[in-house]
A and B are shown apart, each in its own frame.
Chain A
Amino acid sequence: MDTFLSEGSNLAGAVDRAFIFIFTISFIFTIGITAMMVYILIHFSRKKVKNPRQFTGSVKLEIVWTVVPLIIVLMMFYFGWVGFAPMRKVPANAMPIKVIGRMWTWDFDYGNGKISKELVVPYNRDIKLNLVSLDVNHGLFIPAFRVKEDVIPGYSNYLWFRPIIKDTFDIFCTEYCGLAHSGMVSKVIVIDSLAFEKWLVDLKVTGDVPDHPGLTIIKTNACLTCHSLDGTRIVGPSFKGLYGSKRIVVTDQGEKEVEAFDDYIKRSILDPNAEVVKGFNKGLMQSYKEVLKGEDLDKIVDYFRTSVEKK
């Protein structure tokens, strides 16, 4: 991974030129102002100057240091605008990819039910990302491409770029979106056009087999942020092999063993802190009493039962 940022897109060069222009002028002025202060402190120190001069101003100087900064900032505005303007002008033949942001994951939808967790794009081709949020505000940021746009529910925001380096780059969420905001990251992978076509053909169609309705509820309520499906330990215990398993839980009265059948699973959703699986922390999960209805709970339990029975 690059430690110093590469210019991974066609837009990056102009952004960096604006940055270098602003930085150079700022650096010169900061050094100048600081040097001036040090010079004054030494040259006009009270030890040396016993008779301070009493002038009160100069119209000429005021005009100079109003007009010169004005010209400089207008130039800075100009360079910033020049680097920015192309970002909003999407080429007509750009390849559209729908980006779906939700707490706390990205989905990249290539159409026809082909959805990827990573943004794979063909090298040197114009790509337009249509940004959609399913819940709260998110921000799609690809530092190496110098692109960033907010992903806001109800808005159809977009961004575009043409990747010019074949490599893998970071994607970050930059609009605060709750608990696992810093975990809402992905990668953009730039590959040859041919390799991309093959990858797209091989990409599994996820829309074909609809999820179990219980799993859909689990996904939409972001349960998977803390509970994995594959046995990985996250914040809470994994859902893998849950139904019918025996586990030690800690209650206010001490430890006891329970079997994870319907009642226990529903209790754990509605009153999660009453019985906490040993080895996990209390107080991290809040009750879903207000969020999930009785039939939702039945569907979730049914999902857990069927997923164990399948094996």
Chain B
Amino acid sequence: MNDSSTAVPLNFLNHKTGLWSWLSSTDHKRIGLLYLYSITVFFCVAAVLGLLMKIEKFAPGQTIMTAQTYNGMFTIHGIIMIFIVVIPGLAAVFGNILLPIMIGAKDVAFPKLNLFSWYVYITGAFLGLYSQFAHGHVPDTGWTFYVPYSAEATSNVVIALTAAFVLGFASILTGLNFIVTIHRMRAPGMTWFRMPLFPWSLYATAWIQILATPIIGITLLMVIAERTFQIGFFDPKLGGDPVLYQHLFWIYSHPAVYVMILPAMGVVSEIFPTFSQKPIFGYGAIVFSSLAIAFVGYLVWGHHMYTSGMSYQARWAFSLLTFLVAVPSAIKVFNWLSTMYGGSVDLKPPLLYAISFIFLFSIGGFTGLTLGSLATDIQVHNTEFIVAHFHYIIFGGMGFGFFAAIHYWYPKIYGRMYSNRWAYIAWGILFTGFNILYFPMFIMGIQGMPRRYFDYDPKFTLGQEISSIGAFILIIGLIAMISNLVYHRRKGAIAPANPWHGVTLEWQIPSPPPHENFDEVPVITHDPYVFDHPYTK
């Protein structure tokens, strides 16, 4: 290799070229980028569906589409966003790219399995889309596939559950890979408590992926057994129990929410120290709160079902556990604030997104308390309140966490800088649009506007109009943000190895990283966030 003589040194992006070199690569960084590009495409499709729904809701009655089309759109929007974009999301993209580097390894423990996971993921993604159009059937079950509605007339629910299972399998394999990588491949001297917090969050996430995902597989087998052998599990016509399906669905899908949000918490736990040039406050508390969320998160699925006719005792027990899981999230927020307190705070785009994450996630979390409380949940359950809450948590939390991550690690991954100016402008549009879109839905939900309603009472018109306008602003913000990142991928200024003066291992190697990350295996001698020579001095 004659890397010293060429203008551009060899790195993981250019050491081999051609489409096949990407599709057959076992390099964790390239696999991460494969996930990034596929997820971005699916995200854009689902976001456009979201915009179309909001245009439909600009006025009561039919505006641009029929009820059947609307019902299909919220179904596909949900399936793509939840199963194809958000659940793999941060772990598959930034976990893959950064986990090995941040713990000082050359790759994940099982690189070929890692590539296989991506193919499994793509298979599951297309199966998920196919399930919605198979047998000439228009999709309209909602992303929750509740029986008996989802079981009537078509067998698509089997394909849809298979898709969720295949996607889940990709998730299990990635989780397994990460757990083994973290256990076996940390650099010499990197003890558990010298490991940075993003890898810690991935570790907690990976255990949820491995332990919760098989439930969706069991559910699938039960649905197939019911339809093939007429064993009544869920269908009341066969003596089955539709609520049992809801239990099994949420036993997987509620922990899946923590699969979505925990890595985002890990991302901002990296960003706050770097942009404050100050160690993370309460490292141990953040680690243990992640593990606590992962553990208690298993036991709260029933809060999706307070009105399902579940027993009185089950309802209050689930409510109590739900409130307990709120505490670790609160601990994290206070620790992040204290990390910045007393630091030298530089409001670069990644920090701006991380701070927005705290703001939006707090609103999402506090409204979640309204949903966890029995009396108030009875009022707002299955209304637009819950749609707003969920988007504040997942889009405002996981989404803004993802945007923070891409703005933080972009110079590392591509060796180029985006325009800060455009990043600020895009953030402004995005943040404004986000709140105008989702906040009115809280108010309408309290007033009784149900979710998944194609048509609505004219008294909700003003709120729906404001919300629809917010959707347009949000989409403009997304376009501005993505354009900035895409354009500067090749046109941006050359980024230095460590543009933010970070102290974790990924900042100690060139940007973009070389094919095998480290020329020499690093030896770790201290805690992860030690700012010995703050460049601010």
Contact = CB atoms under 8 A, between A and B. Distances in A.
Interface in B500-537: 527, 529, 531, 534, 536-537
Contacts, number: 274
A106 to B, nearest CB: 14
Contacts of B240: 154
What is the size category of the interface that chain A forms with chain B? 35 or more
Residue among B240, B316, B323, B448 with the highest chain A CB neighbour number at 10 A: B448
B378 A148 contact: yes
A179 interface: yes
B323 A65 contact: no
A37 B67 contact: no
A59 to B, nearest CB: 9
B425 to A, nearest CB: 18
Contacts of B359: 30, 33-34, 37
Interface stretch (B104-112, B254-262, B366-374, B430-438): B366-374
A150 interface: yes
Contacts of A45: 344-347
B480 to A, nearest CB: 23
Contacts of B342: 44, 49, 52-53, 55
A293 interface: no
Contact of B278 (A54, A66, A144, A157): A54
Contacts of A179: 67-68, 71, 140
Contacts of A53: 278, 342-343
A76 B279 contact: no
A56 B454 contact: no
Interface stretch (A78-86, A114-122, A196-204, A212-220): A78-86
Interface stretch (B43-51, B123-131, B263-271, B324-332): B324-332
What is the size category of the interface that chain B forms with chain A? 35 or more
A154 B241 contact: yes
A120 B537 CA distance: 75
B447 A56 contact: no
A51 B343 contact: no
Contact of B148 (A5, A70, A144, A153): A153
Interface stretch (A131-139, A238-246, A256-264): A131-139
Contacts of A209: none
B375 A15 contact: yes
Interface in A1-31: 1, 3-5, 14-15, 18-19, 22-23, 26, 29-30
B344 A40 contact: no
Contact of B347 (A41, A52, A58, A235): A41
Interface stretch (A94-102, A168-176, A247-255, A298-306): A168-176
A80 B531 contact: no
B53 to A, nearest CB: 13
A61 to B, nearest CB: 7
A155 B370 contact: no
Contact of B146 (A52, A66, A175): A175
B366 A26 contact: yes
B355 A37 contact: yes
A82 B375 CA distance: 8
A170 B529 CA distance: 57
Contacts of A1: 457, 459
Interface stretch (B2-10, B155-163, B281-289): B281-289
Interface stretch (B27-35, B164-172, B305-313): B305-313
B236 interface: yes
A149 interface: yes
Contacts of A40: 337, 340-341, 345
B333 interface: yes
Given A44-B340, A55-B342, 16 more contacts: A18-B376, A22-B373, A33-B358, A33-B359, A56-B279, A58-B281, A76-B373, A83-B376, A139-B450, A141-B383, A154-B240, A172-B450, A179-B68, A180-B67, A182-B67, A182-B454
25 contacts: A3-B459, A29-B366, A30-B362, A40-B337, A44-B344, A46-B536, A49-B342, A52-B277, A52-B342, A65-B330, A65-B334, A69-B327, A73-B326, A74-B323, A77-B320, A83-B374, A143-B448, A150-B307, A152-B309, A154-B239, A172-B450, A174-B381, A179-B71, A181-B71, A182-B453
Nearest 7 interchain pairs by C-beta: A83-B375, A143-B448, A80-B373, A154-B236, A84-B374, A26-B366, A157-B309
Interface of A: 1, 3-5, 14-15, 18-19, 22-23, 26, 29-30, 33-34, 36-37, 40-41, 44-46, 49-58, 61-62, 65-66, 69-70, 73-74, 76-77, 79-85, 87-88, 135-137, 139, 141, 143-144, 146-150, 152-155, 157, 170, 172-183, 185, 235, 284
Interface of B: 66-68, 71, 140, 142, 146, 148-149, 152, 236, 239-243, 276-285, 307-309, 312, 315-316, 319-320, 323-324, 326-327, 330-331, 333-335, 337-338, 340-347, 355, 358-359, 362-363, 366-367, 369-370, 372-379, 381-383, 446-448, 450-457, 459, 527, 529, 531, 534, 536-537
